[in-house]
Structure 1
Amino acid sequence: MAQTTAPAVSAAPRPDPALAELLQSVVDTARAIFGAQASSILLLETAADELVFEAVSGQGQEFLVGRRFPAGRGIAGWVAASGEPMVVDDLHDSASFDRDIAESTGYVPNALMAAPLLHGGRVLGVLEVLDPSPQARSGLPELDLLSLFARQAAVALHVLITHTPLRPAPDATPDDPSRAELLRLLSEARRLLEQ
């Protein structure tokens, strides 16, 4: 099912520290759960037709945040365009894998899992997990868990994009839909982890 892309947005140069911490928490947790060498969140910037590294855990975390590449290239580009998750166990045999982009990041993975960051029918970006352990990419429950983390990140990105600078509105309530969605996703993640 094709998804629409988000309206033109820019990677926030100084995101709210709590939201940046949440995005970092998503990539750190995804990396730990999947036993991966790296994990990242890439934000789709439609005006420039680029994907921008917003949070990185593991390989490349020292220098990749803020780095850009064309949105139509590679597996992340395919996931952003299609709105569908993807697992590739052997990137050497994948026509979708863009080795030039991987080499430019300083790390060329052998396997990859990616899920779109979807919010309100829009693709905001992509959550990637690089070189997950073989057991962590073995079936649909693992892909479902990655998609769940991607939805959590999408809620955080939605808040970042629509509430920058993030200040509670005078009439804000604890029942804010974004907050409720985030709490629901955290509860669902806990349930999947306990299975």
Structure 2
Amino acid sequence: MNDNSAESNAETDPLSQELLRSVVDVARAIFGAAASSVFLLDEARHELVFQAVSGQGENVLVGRRLPARSGIAGWVAMSGEPVIVDDLSSSADFDRDFAESTQYVPHALMAAPLIHGDRVLGVLEVLDPAPQCRSSLDELDLLALFARQAAVALRVVADRRRQADGPALDSEDRTAALRMAEELRRLLESSA
């Protein structure tokens, strides 16, 4: 796998797709959110690509692209910093036109970069998190921790594929990746 194209393998690799779907489902559940999504950064095209969506928009957004510097997700991807915006109506960075085009306009969001090493691979967003879903960890710290684990899991899958010289992952590797996602889900639920 080319190090600059984490998103291209995620688009075609069923294990990566399953992993990303697990990430957005768990993030949505942890924060009691209306929706959650993962954007991967396409560095060659300077775009963010919806790779997985849970909740509102899940049937229409996967594969959709937007400029890498667009909206709050773009800011997170470029800065490498997580953010919580409690009132999107007053945010100058919020791309309301894009949100309206998805047929779901959130009121609040949380976003964290998917970082591996010194590279931002993409962004994890949680839309309209429930106020009562508080944890012993600060919400932003919890989201950033979860995003970091998701990025590591994506890199593990990509590295295993590269080591296997392209063939599909064997059942042992698939089981290990899914076990990692399940353990992460349990860890995060126990801290909620």
TM-score tier, shorter chain, comes to: 0.7 to 0.9
5+ residue gaps, structure 1, are 1-5
Alignment length (residue pairs)? 181
Name whichever of 45-54 and 128-137 sits farther off. Answer: 128-137
The equivalent residue for 1:143 is: 140
Deviation at 1:116, TM superposition (A): 0.1
Does 1:76 find its partner at 2:73? Answer: yes
4+ residue segments displaced more than 6 Å: none
Once the two structures are superposed, residues 20-66 of structure 1 have per-residue CA deviations (whole angstroms, 9 ceiling, x without a partner) of: 11110110011011111000000000111100000000001001100
5+ residue gaps, structure 2, are none
User: SS state of the match for residue 135, structure 1?
Assistant: coil
Once the two structures are superposed, residues 89-148 of structure 1 have per-residue CA deviations (whole angstroms, 9 ceiling, x without a partner) of: 000111111111111222110000000000011000000000111233799622122112
Does 1:46 find its partner at 2:43? Answer: yes
Q: Any conservation in 1 of the 2:6–2:121 contact (CA below 8 Å)?
A: no
> Percent same amino acid at aligned positions?
61
User: SS state of the match for residue 138, structure 2?
Assistant: helix
Q: Any conservation in 2 of the 1:111–1:131 contact (CA below 8 Å)?
A: yes
Q: Any conservation in 1 of the 2:32–2:133 contact (CA below 8 Å)?
A: yes
Q: TM-score, normalised by structure 1?
A: 0.80
Name whichever of 115-124 and 18-27 sits farther off. Answer: 18-27
Deviation at 1:155, TM superposition (A): 2.1
Q: Any conservation in 1 of the 2:10–2:51 contact (CA below 8 Å)?
A: no
Q: TM-score, normalised by structure 2?
A: 0.81
Q: Any conservation in 2 of the 1:16–1:160 contact (CA below 8 Å)?
A: no
> Which amino acid letter does the alignment assign opposite residue 69 of structure 1?
L
Does 1:99 find its partner at 2:103? Answer: no
The equivalent residue for 1:121 is: 118
> Which amino acid letter does the alignment assign opposite residue 17 of structure 1?
P
The equivalent residue for 1:3 is: none
- Higher fraction of helix: 2
> Which amino acid letter does the alignment assign opposite residue 89 of structure 2?
H
> Which amino acid letter does the alignment assign opposite residue 106 of structure 1?
Q
Change (3 A) 1:107 1:74: same
